[in-house]
Amino acid sequence: MRKARQIIGMIFIAPVFVVLAFITMVLGGLLHLLRLERASEKTVHFILSFLIAWIFLWFGIRLHVTGKENIPRWGERVCYVPNHQSIIDIPVLYASGMWCGLVAKKELFKIPVLHGLLRVLKCVAIDRSSLRESLKSIIEGSDKIKKGYPMGIFPEGTRSKTGEIAEMKAGAFKMATRAKAKIVPVAMKNTRMAFEAADSLRPVHVYVKIMPAIDTEGMDEEELKSVHSIVEKEVRDAFASLPGPYERA
């Protein structure tokens, strides 16, 4: 079934992705050059909302989100911390209302069109093979947060191959703590069933739970050292409480 979904993606999604991504880059980039930053961001989000809806339509994704009231206001120092299961996680994150730049592996920035889209979304490239370059990426992301642009990071480091949540790396939280940001734990479930682990062409119910933000401003050194454990427990507990791919809550 994964092969069938890949064919669907190539035929119906890829061409629309290329067209809308190009329009997003042009309009978003133009407004950025005119220093109309908020207008640029809103335009980017508006256009990509159509692309995400198209992806959900062809992959049969039925999205259920709880906790939207926990999304901080735009302009606050925010870092979203979701678990990572699928390439579908990013459109799911955005469709849930959590527009942000993401820390993404550097290889993605070498793909034509996608490279420009990642840049207009203020994503940050990370080289996991180099500790020094990884630190530079974390600092870059932290600086964006300080300027009021929300960022997101998948602290497991890579997609889960089993559907279970892997250990969340403490170093991934440095971007948030360095910026004294609000950390928003996010649990996402069943995204693998929409692509990587698809076993049918039936609609898949994807669940997202957004937890209350954890404010790192004012935390002492010991609290900052343990914040990753607190977030990981919240995400694991929320993940365990969410229904399966073909169940309704």
Q: Please choose, from the candidates 213, 207, 243, 193, the residue with its C-alpha nearest in 3D space to the C-alpha of residue 1.
A: 193
Q: Is residue 53 part of a domain?
A: no
Q: DSSP letter at 242? A: S
Q: Is residue 27 part of a domain?
A: no
Is pLDDT at 5 greater than 80 in this prediction? Answer: no
Per-residue pLDDT of 153-175, as tens digits, reads 999 988 988 888 999 999 999 99
Asked if residues 211 and 185 have their Cβ atoms less than 8 Å apart, the reply is yes
Distance CA 207, CA 89 (A): 11
Q: Is residue 177 part of a domain?
A: yes
Question: 3-state secondary structure string, 73-131?
Answer: CCCCCEEEEECCCCCCHHHHHHHCCCCCEEEEEHHHHHCCCHHHHHHHCCCEEECCCCH
Q: Is residue 9 part of a domain?
A: no
28: helix, strand or coil: helix
Q: Is residue 35 part of a domain?
A: no
Q: Is residue 24 part of a domain?
A: no
Torsion angles phi and psi, residue 125, rounded to 5: -80, 140
Q: Is residue 208 part of a domain?
A: yes
Distance CA 68, CA 72 (A): 9
Structural domain total, the chain: 1
Distance CA 183, CA 82 (A): 10
Instruction: Note the pLDDT of residue 48.
Output: 97
pTM across the whole model:
0.94
Q: Is residue 116 part of a domain?
A: yes
pLDDT category at 249 given cuts 50, 70, 90 is low
- Residue 147 is part of which domain span? 62-241
pLDDT category at 218 given cuts 50, 70, 90 is confident
Per-residue pLDDT of 105-127, as tens digits, reads 999 999 988 999 999 999 999 98
Is pLDDT at 200 greater than 90 in this prediction? Answer: no
CATH code of the domain covering residue 211: 3.40.1130.10
